[in-house]
């Protein structure tokens, strides 16, 4: 009995010694990561965390209350290493500073700020100004408390990128950090050739409509290009990555995000999702449709690079960047080659609108 206890103590001492003399190096970094995952498997959260989650989810109006008791959220925060500290701040590269409970960057916060990024029309809008410039400069409402905004932002980011916390946990086990650019195993340099193939089987028609005016969910500039093709046409992963499906019933409809080494691409208004999870370039992930607020079949295609290339292409609308999305037009031109509007119109049903506006 005593011997057993001594042996256990011995193992613990050896393990903690090992932890203190961990040198820098690829193999050891991997071991440390594995140790962190093990440590976080049964992560404890401070008692206030659950209460704050309940408040945040209630205020958001678009996040599932079931997430409150998901052990994965506690695991994710533990894995991030923020220690539930609302003032957490960590500089990564010169591009990235991680903030708050979920260790998010300002760009990530901006990505999920607008109502058009939520599943509900009347959902709570976040204030990135508070996140960036400090809470004391914001209106004092329950929703504008720093921890509530951080929690909503983090939860929406999980919803946006992974669909649910369980998938997020699977993903971080594979790649490291779940938020923040860049993730482990992703590129830290900008690319001007992010796509290895056209996201929609040709012939397709698109033009440089990035930044054009859209009004669903409140005014916002168009985040991508509308790639027009008949309903049912195959949509394919433009690079190797991880595909995630989402759905709402008022603006984007059914949509699939592919998260890859250089950033993530989003395909919106799908008729159907074909495949999610690990995907390789060219895998069919969905079919062109007109769900959400689309007035005709097309793939609303967005490109969100981890690091934006310089100089950035400027669309005729004057926009170069909208939140963290940049104009995919010059990159689509490398892999798609737009057909004439007339040629594509022949493939479409009668009365197809010239500009199939959606989000």
Of 47-55, 127-135, 194-202, 225-233, which segment contacts Zn ion by CB under 5 A? Answer: 225-233
Of 51-59, 71-79, 115-123, 296-304, which segment contacts Zn ion by CB under 5 A? Answer: 296-304
DSSP H or E stretch at residue 155: helix 146-162
Q: How far is the CB of 31 from Zn ion (least distance, A)?
A: 45
Q: How far is the CB of 225 from Zn ion (least distance, A)?
A: 7
Strand partners, 205: 228
Contact between 110 and Zn ion per CB under 5 A: no
Distance CA 54, CA 50 (A): 6
Contact between 300 and Zn ion per CB under 5 A: yes
Nearer to Zn ion, 108 or 299 (CB): 299
Nearer to Zn ion, 226 or 324 (CB): 226
Nearer to Zn ion, 226 or 327 (CB): 226
Q: How far is the CB of 291 from Zn ion (least distance, A)?
A: 13
Distance CA 178, CA 184 (A): 9
Nearer to Zn ion, 208 or 226 (CB): 226
Nearer to Zn ion, 98 or 210 (CB): 210
Cis check for the bond before 203: say yes or no (omega within 30 of 0). Answer: yes
Distance CA 294, CA 290 (A): 5
Please state the φ and ψ torsions of residue 23, each to the nearest 5 degrees: -85, 175
User: Which one among 62, 108, 146, 226 touches Zn ion, defined by CB under 5 A?
Assistant: 226
Tokens of 117: 């990024």
Count the site residues for Zn ion by CB under 5 A: 2
Of 12-20, 153-161, 220-228, 311-319, which segment contacts Zn ion by CB under 5 A? Answer: 220-228
Of 35-43, 243-251, 298-306, 337-345, which segment contacts Zn ion by CB under 5 A? Answer: 298-306
Please state the φ and ψ torsions of residue 267, each to the nearest 5 degrees: -115, 120
Beta strands in the chain, from DSSP E residues, in sequence order: 89-91, 97-99, 213-214, 220-221, 225-228, 234-236, 241-247, 254-260, 263-270, 272-273, 277-279, 284-287, 298-305, 321-322, 325-326
Q: Is 65 helix (H, G, I), strand (E, B) or coil?
A: helix
Contact between 327 and Zn ion per CB under 5 A: no
Of 72-80, 166-174, 254-262, 297-305, which segment contacts Zn ion by CB under 5 A? Answer: 297-305
Nearer to Zn ion, 62 or 226 (CB): 226
Q: How far is the CB of 124 from Zn ion (least distance, A)?
A: 24
Residue written as token pair 């997430």:
67
Distance CA 232, CA 289 (A): 6
Closest to 209 in 3D by CA, of 59, 316, 343, 100 = 316
Of 4-12, 161-169, 294-302, 307-315, which segment contacts Zn ion by CB under 5 A? Answer: 294-302
Other beta carbons less than 10 A from residue 193's beta carbon = 11
Nearer to Zn ion, 262 or 300 (CB): 300
Nearer to Zn ion, 183 or 313 (CB): 313
Closest residue to Zn ion: CB criterion: 300
Footprint on this chain of Zn ion (rule: CB under 5 A): 226, 300
């Amino acid at each position: 009995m005593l011997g057993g206890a001594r042996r256990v103590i011995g193992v613990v001492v050896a393990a903690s010694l090992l932890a203190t003399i961990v040198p820098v190096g690829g193999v050891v970094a991997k071991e440390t990561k594995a140790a962190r995952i093990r440590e976080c498997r049964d992560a404890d959260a401070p008692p206030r965390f659950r209460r704050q989650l309940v408040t945040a989810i209630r205020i958001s109006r678009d996040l599932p209350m079931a997430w409150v008791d998901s052990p994965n959220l506690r695991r994710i925060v533990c894995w991030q290493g923020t220690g539930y500290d609302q003032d957490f701040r960590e500089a990564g590269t010169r591009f990235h500073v991680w903030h708050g409970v979920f260790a998010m960057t300002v760009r990530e916060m901006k990505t999920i700020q607008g109502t058009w990024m939520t599943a509900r029309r009347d959902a709570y809008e976040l204030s990135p100004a508070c996140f960036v410039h400090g809470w004391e400069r914001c209106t004092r409402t329950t929703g504008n408390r720093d921890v509530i905004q951080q929690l909503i932002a983090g939860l929406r980011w999980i919803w946006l990128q992974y669909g649910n916390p369980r998938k997020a946990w699977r993903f971080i086990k594979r790649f490291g950090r779940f938020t923040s650019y860049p993730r482990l195993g992703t590129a830290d340099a900008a690319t001007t050739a992010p796509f290895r193939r056209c996201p929609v089987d040709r012939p397709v028609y698109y033009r440089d409509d990035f930044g054009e005016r859209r009004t669903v969910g409140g005014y916002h500039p168009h985040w991508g290009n509308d790639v027009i093709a008949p309903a049912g046409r195959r949509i394919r992963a433009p690079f190797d990555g991880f595909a995630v499906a989402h759905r709402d019933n008022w603006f984007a409809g059914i949509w699939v995000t592919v998260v890859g080494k250089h950033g993530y691409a989003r395909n919106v208004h799908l008729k159907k999702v074909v495949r999610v999870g690990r995907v390789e370039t060219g895998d069919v992930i969905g079919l062109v449709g007109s769900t959400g607020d689309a007035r005709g079949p097309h793939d609303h295609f967005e490109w969100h690079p981890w690091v934006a290339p310089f100089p950035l292409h400027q669309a005729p609308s004057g926009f170069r960047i909208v939140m963290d999305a940049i104009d995919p037009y010059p990159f689509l031109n490398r892999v798609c080659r737009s057909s004439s509007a007339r040629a594509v119109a022949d493939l479409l049903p009668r009365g197809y609108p010239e500009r199939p506006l959606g989000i």
